[in-house]
Amino acid sequence: MGVACDTSAARLADSRFMKAVHRQPVDTTPLWIMRQAGRYLPEYMAVRSKVSFMELCKTPELACEVTVTARQVLGVDAAILFADLLPILEPMGIDLEYQKGEGPVIHNPIRGSHDVDRLQALTSTESVDYVFQAIRLIRAALPGDIPLIGFAGAPFTLASYAIEGGGSKNYVHTKSLMYNDEGAWNVLMSRLVDTVILYLQAQIQAGCQCVQVFDSWAGCLCPADYQRYVLPHVRRLIQAVEPLAPVINFLNGNPALLSLQRQAGGQVMGTDWRSSLDVAWQTFGHDVAIQGNMDPVSIYADLPVLKQRVGDVLRLAQGRAGHIFNLGHGVMPDMNPDHVKAVVDYVHELGRR
């Protein structure tokens, strides 16, 4: 058993994706795609049509099936756990519902310090054990040289959902609490960080080789606000997780935050398309890997144009070790799956060293 485990670990460490994470030379640029298991894929919809979204997330066998199938169909270099950012909030005291056509809705949003008091940090991950069951099934089903990426929402993104009650265009409630009651804000963020640390550590222990922290909404902040209200919490989170596995720190929506994102930590910096890849990498420093960053809307382009856009991103990486190709955000539900598969082929073809 020990020899088999050592061999498996060596194969994963020698994988294209993990070598890029550690900024080691690879034969061609590795990639995975955010939301690679999603509604654009017929194979996903064949499963999703039979169950609700939450049932899919909470049924380990089904979460395993859509994770592994998407990786296999696309031919990407890593699988990402099929799950969602928000169910971790449920056992903390949040009443979460996914409404058809509306997305996630929180029925008891946090609006003041009295509401923060009812949100409790998890001391055990037993309430979300279905996630770790799925990870163990996925790891057993994946090829031995394909890493599995786990993930969680960053504290600001989770806080904004919990406070706004869903998505938001201007984050008025979130920023109002942040500005008007900094003490309550820091308590909320600390409880979220404590919970996410446990959650990500347990994902790694269950079989993930790398984890991504999604700060999908932090781009709404100016640099001064990110530095004051968010940076210390993200830094504490990443510092607690990185000893167990590499962390991809993904921040969406605001190039002005790149240098602060780097200060928050992570072995890989995930960036969206609003920055040129070479400029972003220069800002981060070349002593970290970078992930990104083609505009997802490029997938709607005709194939010759799409190939050119893939090539544009790869040229900006300049063949430097440590580039993981990805979209700047996720695949959209009405995208042509053949175009998504073409991106994978183009990256592997054009990215050959």
CATH code at position 147: 3.20.20.210
Domain range for 304 is: 2-350
**pLDDT on residue 99:** 83
Q: Which H, E and C letters describe the chain, residue by residue? A: CHHHHHHHHHHHHCCHHHHHHCCCCCCCCCECCCCCCCCCCHHHHHHHCCCCHHHHHHCHHHHHHHHHHHHHHHCCCCEECCCCCCHHHHHHCCCEEEECCCEEEECCCCCCHHHHCCCCCCCCCHHHHHHHHHHHHHHHHCCCCCCEEEEEECHHHHHHHHHHCCCCCCCHHHHHHHHHCHHHHHHHHHHHHHHHHHHHHHHHHHCCCEEEEEECCHHHCCHHHHHHHHHHHHHHHHHHHCCCCCEEEEECCCHHHHHHHHHHCCCEEEECCCCCHHHHHHHHCCCCEEECCECHHHHHCCHHHHHHHHHHHHHHHCCCCCEEECECCCCCCCCCHHHHHHHHHHHHHHCCC
Low-confidence residues of the chain, pLDDT below 70?
1-6, 102, 353
Q: Which two tokens stand for residue 265?
A: 């930590």
171 assigned to active site: no
Rg (CA), the chain: 19
Among the listed residues 23, 40, 44, 48, the single catalytic one is 48
**pLDDT on residue 36:** 97
84 assigned to active site: yes
**pLDDT on residue 163:** 97
Among the listed residues 16, 35, 139, 309, the single catalytic one is 35
Among the listed residues 11, 39, 235, 320, the single catalytic one is 39
**pLDDT on residue 103:** 83
What's this model's pTM, rounded to 2 decimal places?
0.97
**pLDDT on residue 2:** 55
Among the listed residues 40, 44, 161, 199, the single catalytic one is 161
39 assigned to active site: yes
161 assigned to active site: yes
35 assigned to active site: yes
Domains identified in the chain, total number: 1
Among the listed residues 84, 115, 181, 312, the single catalytic one is 84
